[in-house]
Amino acid sequence: MAIQSEDLHEEKFFIDPFPVWEQLRNESPLFYDAVDNRWLLTRYDDVTEVFRNHEVYSARPYERIFTDVIGPTMVQMDGKDHDIRRSIVAPVMVGKKLEHDYQPMINDVVVELLAVLPQSGQVDAIKAITSPLPLKIIARMLGMESSYDEYLHEVANLVINALAGVEPAKSLGKAKHEEFAGRIDDLISQRIVSPSDDLITEITQSRTKEGQGLSRTEIASFISLLMVAGGETSDRAIANFWYVLLKNPHVLEAIRKDRSLIEPAISEFMRRDGVVVYEDRELNEDVEWYGTRIAKGEIVRVAMMSANNDESVFKNPRTFDLYRTDLNLGFEKRPGGRKDGVAHHVGFGLGKHFCIGYHLARAEMSTATNYLLDRYENIAISKGHEPTLTVQWFHRFLDKLVLDVS
């Protein structure tokens, strides 16, 4: 039976979308979703083509999501405006800066969170570890004291709730961002007078080759974006990763014996499962896919999770394989794509809008996993607390992760 638009919006699909995506890849690689009024692409090569061609496929849809709440961000920009802003913030988020300055912070925060957990018993992993971890790290990166942790969590939650555009949540989130922007502005003033070794100072001082920098308003918007994207998505990624490992005990056992396998395990997890399901792009001109003309101004939705499970690219895609020869098992690269039978997953995107915090996200996942395995010899999903992994809006994530540890 052919897939109908309603099939993409039913509980059965939200719990297990992979059979529907497989059928779409084989029968309807371009599918019109009449419920969401979007054109859906599900094949790997089609998704990567859209990500690469930013001149035709604009990130403008994110303007409607973010601008009214936290102001303009690079997420919604495509051309020179995007490139300028990314060139300012990217150097302080990856590479040597992360390795030497931020990795010790990540270690400290993970140790701090695990230290208060019982040596054996039941642990709510999301509440105790994965949820507070990313925001605590962002706070340390910004040079904020631990007393700000609860406040940042409140800001992030209100902004996230506002992004759906529904009142009164939208107004509450916008007001909280404006309040937060005032605090960031105060920090910027302090750092101008007394520079410090933190993210606020780095972004405030960072310039393009032409001497361009971010305005104070743009810095506040970027940091709110970092908390939303880097906080919520990283939280869900760590929880999903642990759940998938526990559901594949042979993989978990291999990692226990050889911790160097954590990095390829993260790559395979991001391909097989990950967190981000879709991204939307708006057409700047008419295009044609599979003999169908799509008009300028319409929205094309790329199914990243479907692309990562495309059987024409990855053999037995729903099998978790630590030793894949068809997947790049190292660090992701912005150009992505595939060559000579080896493909990059698109869990962090690709091209101009490739996730700027991918290196930080991987560091959080690998560090938290390493320390968790160091602390506990036995980890299992608590009986009576079997979690549900479902698609909700643009993410796929767990409703809970309660563990028995010893």
> Distance between terminal CA atoms of the chain?
48
CA distance 130 to 128: 7
Q: List the structure tokens of 201.
A: 């100072």
In 277-403, alpha helices (H): 304-307, 358-375
Is the model more confident about 194 or about 311? 311
What is the gyration radius of the CA atoms in the chain, in angstroms?
Answer: 21
pTM of the predicted protein model: 0.92
Residue with tokens 């925001």: 135
Closest CA to 185 of 200, 198, 175, 206: 200
The domain of 234 spans 5-405
Question: Positive or negative, the Cα torsion across 44, 49, 51, 56?
Answer: negative
Work out the percent of the chain whose per-residue pLDDT is above 70. 96
Average pLDDT over residues 225-243: 87
How high is the pLDDT of residue 197? 80
Average pLDDT over residues 183-194: 83
CA 245 to chain centre: 19
pLDDT tier for residue 378 given thresholds of 50, 70 and 90: very high
Res. 202: pLDDT tops 90: no
Res. 227: pLDDT tops 80: no
Res. 1: pLDDT tops 70: yes
How high is the pLDDT of residue 95? 65
CATH of residue 152's domain is: 1.10.630.10
Report pLDDT digits (tens) over 69-90: 887 777 777 777 677 677 767 7
Res. 97: pLDDT tops 70: no
Contact indicator for 20, 26 with CB cutoff of 8 Å? no
Is the model more confident about 120 or about 99? 120
Number of domains in the chain: 1
Is the model more confident about 160 or about 254? 254
Contact indicator for 314, 326 with CB cutoff of 8 Å? yes
Conformation bin of residue 93: beta by default, left when phi > 0, alpha when psi is -120 to 50: alpha
List strand residue ranges (DSSP E) for 243-388, in order.
278-283, 287-289, 292-294, 299-303, 338-339, 342-343, 379-381
CA distance 290 to 271: 26
Mean pLDDT of the chain: 89
